[in-house]
A and B are shown apart, each in its own frame.
Chain A
Amino acid sequence: MHDMLPQPAVASPAAAVVDGRVVRLGQALPGDKGVIVDVRAGDGGIDHGVDLNELHRRLLEFGFVEGAQVEVLHEGAIGRDPIAVRLDDMRIGLRRRDAEDIWVLLDAK
């Protein structure tokens, strides 16, 4: 499952992926805004301090679920990390490395 492309829960995702409009939240920039299309905890060789299944469930519990609206609001001064995002009607701070496997379909600009 890890080497497959994300399977977005919204219409016509394939075109968006090709367009480059599906991005990892971990690499999104302030102002980037869209809908979460996939949340997983892939093994990108990143150490999260907890196992992937645990990270996956924590992200889900905080509301990083498919269909949620997300917008990057702010980023830290050093290494642009961590990031503050608006997630539906909440604000959440998280590190970029833990947000790597949240895939976001960006709104058309």
Chain B
Amino acid sequence: MTDIAAPNARVALVGNPNSGKTALFNALTGSRQKVANYAGVTVERKEGRAVTTAGRTLSILDLPGTYSLRARSPDEAVTRDAVLGKLAGEIPPDVVVAVADATNLRLVLRLILELKAVGRPMVLALNMYDIAQRQGLRIDLEGLARELGCPIVTTVATRKRGIEELVAKVDALIGEGALGTANSWREPTAGEIREAHREAQRILKAHVRPPERPDTFTGKVDGVLLHPVAGLAILFALLFVMFQAVFTWATPLMDLIKDSFGWLAGFVAAHLPAGIVTSFISDGLISGVGSVLVFLPQILILFFFIILLEDFGYMARAAFLMDKIMGGAGLHGRAFIPLLSSFACAIPGIMATRVIDQKRDRITTILVAPLMTCSARIPVYTLIIGAFIPNRQVWGVLNLPGLVMFGLYAAGIVSALAVSFVIRRIFWRGTAEPFLMELPTYKLPDPANVARNVILRGRIFLTRAGTIILPLMIVVWALSSFPGAPPGASDPAINYSIAGMLGHLLQPIFQPIGFNWQMTVALIPGFAAREVAVAALGTVYAVGGGDAAASALGATLANHWSIATGLSFLAWYVFAPQCASTLGVVKRETNSWLWPAVMLLYMTALAYMAAFFTFQAASAAGLG
């Protein structure tokens, strides 16, 4: 395969957002793609290979979409620096392929004028040419090519039309040894942008005849989808379906994965000689791999919806509808999907913050995402509510355990909004950046493209997040397993482990919030995932495993804990960052240990304060 061969030439794709640039990239490179991050930034670097008929191997770089080389976000800065050949660790492209939506040329013409100033050899791909033809849009290709001084190829990326010709044109430029001209680009002033618009307008007028049958579909659909009342109602209905799907469709698959790995771990434990190696394989390695894979169904389902909505052109509308509502808490309109997804699990939610361009908006969203009540908290809540909250009716209609559960969810939402408000008003002062967003024409998503992108997200999760979650899981396993129990010990083995010792050591700190040492010990393996705390409590209290264990454990807890302690434990779990996978994924998504550290600290502080006040208030009320 050519993947290993060094490329003979480098090509960079540049274009406006929504120009079908990624579809063109997929059509050019097929499955020969590699996704990584650019050195030092969180921007995704997508590179693929294509082979020309002349036998040249082309390295093709899909640069982030932009309206201008005057970068406004980290993504756009990557595009600018890559095109200018100033990006650290990146070899400057030999040829730039400007990708344009043939039905929407005005803004991209100005970008092309900027690219011309950079002076690299360039080919213009007029993408979505089929739609332009259907609309009766006439483009004088020869005249336009002469005017712009670069070859033009018409393409329909989703149908792989024009791809060979595009590769051939790029190949020809390289074959000629085209060197381009000296770079004369610099950041344009307002006056120069106006000037460029006039030039673009002149070119447009000279070579493009407006469509005979312009698109009226988008306008009609927007009449409903952007309607102040109906639009919001449809958005919420969509979100509800999405949330339900992520939550319920994923559950059988997740159970299957959990059960399979549980079975495998049990099988290994039963058939290998007991000892530390077996424990490592079954409790450390197999459980660790299982705990990574278990997130995959939710991630695939969530990204299926996100990519579908994005490709349809709805995402920008959703951000438009939500901008004012989210803006009140200092969040960007686009933050609502990541936050909503975090109700299922913060991992796909945090991965979904990629839809937010501005770094500060994105990090604020990442930081508050784990405050949304994820599904892993449900076993903990159910256990404690079952053990301590009497099942009785309130005001005739509501049942008390249900009310407490609702209160816990509400506490999560309110605190997420409050924390983002505080972050934006105190730490990152100033108003949110201007909200300027193209509302693209609606397009039918291409199934192959959607499938490819969903699979890509899954692969990225497994290779990048998985490789950090797995070691964390093994660390948690090691803490709970070493050193082993001395011979003839009567207490559960975990009490003698590092986790046990840490639990005893930390006990004085947890005293004021009403936690006993057993709870403190259980918190450490509970870092693997929130629901693991339930199993860990079972281990510490030496209540055997199995399904019957949950109710037995509830009864045990009710005997050993006061109500104040139970409530304090609930309050702790609303805020506590008890999830190594979340911290791992934050590290991956922000490319820095700073943000997981900030998250760990602020959430632990909030959890401690919440548990402290809950415990003290409940004790004062006579529930201690």
Do the two chains belong together in a single complex? Answer: yes
In whole angstroms, how far apart are the Cα atoms of A92 and B430 in the complex? 24
Most buried by B among A82, A88, A98: A82
Determine the distance from Cα of A84 to Cα of B439 in the docked complex, in whole angstroms: 8
Interface flags for B39-79 (1: CB within 8 Å of A; 0: not) read 00000000000000000000000000001101010000000
Please tell me if the beta carbons of A48 and B431 are within 8 angstroms of each other in the complex.
yes
A12 to B425, CA, bound (A): 46
Residues of B within 8 A of A67 (CB): 201
- Check A79 against B431 for contact (C-beta < 8 Å): no
A92: contacting residue among B193, B219, B323, B436, CB under 8 A: B436
Whether A55 is near chain B, meaning CB under 8 Å from some CB there, is yes
Q: Does B214 contact A (CB under 8 A)?
A: yes
Query: B222-230, B376-384, B467-475: which one contacts chain A?
Result: B222-230
Instruction: Tell me if B190 and A60 are in contact (CB < 8 A).
Output: yes
Closest to A76 in B: B324
Residues of chain A lying within 8 A (CB to CB) of residue B107: 61-63, 90
> Is A74 in contact with chain B by the CB < 8 A criterion?
yes
**How far is B320's CA from A58's CA once the two chains are assembled, in angstroms?**
18
- Is A89's CB under 8 angstroms from B104's CB? yes
Do the beta carbons of A56 and B190 come within 8 Å of each other? Answer: yes
B437 located at the interface, meaning its Cβ lies under 8 Å from any Cβ of chain A in the complex:
yes
A61 engages B67 (CB within 8 Å)? yes
On chain B, the residues within 8 Å of A76 by CB distance are 228, 320-321, 323-324
Inter-subunit contact B70/A47 (CB<8 Å): no
A47→B323 CA distance, assembly (Å): 17
- The proximity string for B residues 388-410 relative to A, scoring 1 for CB distances below 8 Å and 0 otherwise, is 00000000000000000000000
* Whole-angstrom distance between the Cβ of B359 and the nearest chain A Cβ: 13
Interface residue A29 (Cβ < 8 Å from any Cβ of B): no
Report whether A65 and B194 are in contact in the complex, using a CB–CB cutoff of 8 Å.
yes
* Complex Cα spacing A79 to B325, Å: 10
Task: State which residues 294-337 of B face A: CB under 8 Å.
Answer: 316-317, 319-321, 323-325
User: Residue of A at shortest CB range from B320?
Assistant: A93
Chain A residues bordering chain B, tally (CB within 8 A): 36
A 41-61 binary contact with B (CB < 8 Å = 1; else 0):
000000111100101111111
Give the contacting residue for A84; candidates B72, B190, B201, B226; CB below 8 A.
B226
A77 interface contact, C-beta 8 A: yes
Known A49-B433, A57-B190, A61-B68: A91·B218 in contact at CB below 8 Å: yes
Once the chains are docked, how many angstroms separate the CA of A63 from the CA of B433? Answer: 18
Q: Of the candidates A50, A53, A77, which one forms a contact with B232 in the assembled complex, judged by CB atoms under 8 Å apart?
A: A77
Inter-subunit contact A47/B436 (CB<8 Å): no
Nearest chain B CB to A44's CB is how many angstroms away? 14
CB distance from B428 to the nearest CB of A (A): 10
CB distance from A103 to the nearest CB of B (A): 15
Cβ of A94 and Cβ of B226 under 8 Å apart? no
Which residue of A49, A59, A89 is within 8 Å of B431 (Cβ)?
A49
The CA-CA distance from A90 to B67 in the complex, in Å, is 13
Please pick, from A50, A55, A78, the residue contacting B325 in the complex, using a CB distance under 8 A. Answer: A78
The reply to whether B433 and A50 contact each other, CB–CB distance below 8 Å, is yes
Given contacts A49-B432, A56-B190, A76-B323, is CB(A63)–CB(B316) below 8 Å? Answer: no
B106 and A89: CB pair below 8 A? Answer: yes
A-B contact pairs, 6 of them (CB 8 A): A47-B430, A58-B72, A62-B67, A63-B107, A76-B228, A89-B210
Extra contacts besides A65-B194, A77-B321, A93-B437 (6): CB < 8 Å: A53-B190, A61-B68, A63-B197, A84-B222, A88-B106, A93-B439
A-B pairs, top 9 by smallest CB distance, nearest first, are A77-B228, A91-B439, A49-B431, A74-B226, A60-B193, A93-B320, A78-B324, A47-B431, A98-B434
